[in-house]
Amino acid sequence: MNFEITSKKLDQISSDGLVLFAFEGDKFVPTKNLLYVDKILNGFLFNSLYFDNFKGKKNAIFSFDTQKKILASKIFVLGLGKKEEFDQNKLRSAIATFAKNYRGKLSSVSLGLLTDSETKQDIYLQSQSIAEGFILGNYLFNKYKKKDDNLKELETIIISEENKASSIKIKEGIETAKLICEGVILARDLVNEPAAVITPTSLAKIASDLAKKNKEITCKIYEREEIEKMGMGAFLGVALGSDTPPKFIHLEYSPAGSIKKEKLAIVGKGITFDSGGVSIKPESSMMTMKCDMAGAAAVLGVFSVISQIKPKMKVMGIIAATPNLISGKAFVPGDILTSMSGKTIEVLSTDAEGRLTMADAFTYTIKKGATEIIDLATLTGACEVALGTDIAGLFSNNDSLKEKLLKSSKKTGEHLWELPLLVEYKELNKSDVADISNIPSTRYGGAITGGLFLQEFVEEKPWVHLDISGPAFYEKEHELGQKGGTGFGVRLLIDLLKDL
C-alpha cells in the first residue's frame, strides 16, 4: 500500500473513493472538508445524508455516487462519533472499519486531514492513526485460498495537503504507522498460520533471522539438552508429549551509546498448540488453540522493529516454545515437576500448561539480569469470561510499571483492565504434596489464581502480567481487522518502548 501526498484540492484528485468525515450530532456535524465538497456538489451530498438519516455515529459509513461531478468516483462519509469524545483511536477505528468493509472493491482512496480545531491531536499522530487504520483494516490472511481475480488490491492512499511543513509531518506519521504495522502483521501472521507451520523450530528460526538482520539484536536458542541442564523441569514437563523439539528462545536488544542500567524482559507464552494434553480440551475449545503462542508472536512482532524504535534500555525477548500434546510420553495429572527456581509444582491439570512454561522463563530472565518483567500470555479462559474479548487482564506488583502500560493502553486503544492479585487467594493454589499446585481448588477467579501462580516466580521484581486470552484471537471480525490473530500487544509495547 502506497501513501501519496498531493497539493491538489479534494475535488481535483482522481480516485475510486474520496473519504470525508463527520462527527455525531442530532443530524451530523460536518467537517470543513465535507462542507467544501458539498458546496461543489450544490448541496446534494448533505441532502442525501439527511435523507439517509446519517448521524455521524462512530464507524458509520455513508456512500454516495458522485456521477462524475468531481474526479473521485464515489464519496464515503465516515462517522467519528461525538466531537468531544474524539481521539486518535476513534479515527483509526473508523478508517479500519471502512478499509475492512470495502476490501477488494477499491484500488485508490483520497482524503484530507481534519483541521486543528476539529481534532486536538497533532497532524503527525493523526496521519499515523489514518495509516494504521488503512493497513490493519486491509489485512487479510488468505495465502491458502484460491486467488479471486475480481478483487481489487487497495494500492494507493492519496492525502491532500497544500502546506509543505504539514506534508513532512504527515510523511513521518505514515512511516511510524508502517513500522508499527509491520510488527503487528508479523504477529497476526504467526498466530494465523497453522500449528504444523509455526512450530518451536520455526519460531526459533524467525528469532535468529531477526538477530542476523539487526546488529543491535542477538539471539540464543537453547535445545532440549541445554534446557534440561538449566533445570527447567516445568517447561520440559509440558514438552514431554510432543515429538517436535522444544526451543527456549532468548532475544536481546542492546542499543549503542549511553543507556539506562535497567533491563526489561518481555516474556511471551509460546504454546504452539494447546490440546490440553492428557486433560484434553473439548473439541469446541481446541479449535482455536493455534493462538496459544500469541504472546510469543507479540514478542517477535516487537523485536522485528525494535531497532527502529530505539528504546534506550536493554530489552530481552523470551519465549519457551513447545506444543502441549498427548502421547505415551506425555506428562499426566499427579506428576510433580521441579521448576528452574527449585519450587516443585503438582500438575493437577495438564491444560494449565502456560503457567508452567512461564514460570521457568521468569526464573531464567532473572538469572540473566532482568530488572523488570512484562509478560503476555493467553493464560486463562477465565480472563476472557471476566473481561470479554476486547480487554486484556493486567496484573502487577508495581505501580510505576503498571501506570506506564495503562498510559500506552489509552494511547493505542489496546484495552487493559487491572485485576487484583489478592493475597488471600494464594491459599487456592496450595498443593498437598508439592510447593504449589498448577490449578486452584476452585474455578472461580481463575484469571487471578493464574496471575498469583506466576507471581510466585518473579522474585519480587517489578512485573506486569497481561492475560491476553480475550483480545489475542477473534472468532468474528473486530474493529481493526478480520477474524483471527489480532497482533494484540505489539502496538502497546512499541508505544511503551518508545518512551523508555
Interface with Zn ion by CB under 5 A: which residues?
271, 274, 292, 351, 353-354
For residue 15, state whether it binds ligand BES (rule: CB under 6 A).
Answer: no
Residue 351 has phi, psi (to 5 degrees) of: -85, -15
- Residue in 263, 355, 404, 491 annotated catalytic: 355
For residue 63, state whether it binds ligand BES (rule: CB under 6 A).
Answer: no
Complex with Zn ion: residue 132 or 353, whichever CB lies closer: 353
- Output the smallest distance, CB 172 to ligand BES, in A: 37
For residue 375, state whether it binds ligand BES (rule: CB under 6 A).
Answer: no
Binds ligand BES by CB under 6 A, chosen from 95, 352, 361, 496? 352
For residue 360, state whether it binds ligand BES (rule: CB under 6 A).
Answer: no
Residue 83, SS3 per DSSP: helix
**Closest to 20 measured CA to CA, from 97, 137, 110:** 110
| Dihedral, 292, 293, 295, 301 alpha carbons, nearest 10 | -140
Complex with Zn ion: residue 187 or 379, whichever CB lies closer: 379
Strand order across the 436-437 sheet: 336-338, 344-346, 436-437
The interface region with ligand BES, picked from 29-37, 60-68, 220-228, 347-355 by CB under 6 A, is: 347-355
Q: What is the sign of the dihedral through the CA atoms of 30, 33, 34 and 40?
A: positive
Contact partners, residue 414, CB within 8 Å, separation at least 6: 392, 408, 471, 488, 489, 491, 492
Residue 181, SS3 per DSSP: helix
For residue 359, state whether it binds ligand BES (rule: CB under 6 A).
Answer: no
Residue 47 has phi, psi (to 5 degrees) of: -55, -45
Looking at residues 415 to 474 of the shown chain, list those that interact with ligand BES (rule: CB under 6 A).
439, 446, 469
Q: Is 68 a catalytic residue?
A: no
Residue 166, SS3 per DSSP: helix
Burial category of 499 from C-beta neighbours within 10 Å (exposed 0-12, middle 13-18, buried 19 and up): exposed
Report the residue number whose CB is nearest to ligand BES.
381
Contact partners, residue 273, CB within 8 Å, separation at least 6: 195, 289, 290, 292, 323, 324, 325
Quote the CA–CA distance of 380 and 279 in Å, as a whole number: 15
Residue environment code for 219-255, b if the CB has 16+ CB neighbours within 10 A, otherwise e:
bebbebeebeebbbbbbbbbbbbbebbbbbbbbbbeb
Residue whose C-alpha cell reads 525494535 in the numeric block: 306
Looking at residues 240 to 279 of the shown chain, list those that interact with ligand BES (rule: CB under 6 A).
274
Residue whose C-alpha cell reads 489514518 in the numeric block: 130
Contact at 8 Å (CB) between 22 and 29? yes
Complex with ligand BES: residue 127 or 378, whichever CB lies closer: 378
Complex with Zn ion: residue 49 or 436, whichever CB lies closer: 436
- Output the smallest distance, CB 236 to ligand BES, in A: 17
Residue whose C-alpha cell reads 518481555 in the numeric block: 266
- Output the smallest distance, CB 68 to ligand BES, in A: 50
Complex with ligand BES: residue 309 or 448, whichever CB lies closer: 448
- Residue in 281, 368, 411, 483 annotated catalytic: 281
Q: Is 205 a catalytic residue?
A: no
- Output the smallest distance, CB 354 to Zn ion, in A: 4
Look up residue 412 and give its amino acid. T
C-alpha dist (Å) from residue 123 to 44, 116, 428: 30, 8, 51
- Output the smallest distance, CB 349 to Zn ion, in A: 8
- Output the smallest distance, CB 273 to Zn ion, in A: 9
Complex with ligand BES: residue 248 or 273, whichever CB lies closer: 273
Residues in binding contact with ligand BES, number by CB under 6 A: 15
Contact pattern for ligand BES over residues 305 through 344, marking x by CB under 6 A: ----------------------------------------
For residue 66, state whether it binds ligand BES (rule: CB under 6 A).
Answer: no
For residue 389, state whether it binds ligand BES (rule: CB under 6 A).
Answer: no
Q: Identify what 132 binds: Zn ion, ligand BES, none; CB under 5 to 8 Å per kind.
A: none
- Output the smallest distance, CB 468 to Zn ion, in A: 11
- Output the smallest distance, CB 424 to ligand BES, in A: 18
For residue 349, state whether it binds ligand BES (rule: CB under 6 A).
Answer: yes
| Helix ranges (DSSP H) in 436-499 | 446-455, 490-498
The DSSP element (H or E) to which 178 belongs, if any, is helix 164-192
Complex with ligand BES: residue 60 or 439, whichever CB lies closer: 439
Complex with ligand BES: residue 161 or 375, whichever CB lies closer: 375
For residue 384, state whether it binds ligand BES (rule: CB under 6 A).
Answer: yes
Binding residues vs ligand BES (CB under 6 A): 274, 292, 349, 351-354, 378, 380-382, 384, 439, 446, 469
Catalytic residue positions, numbered: 281, 355
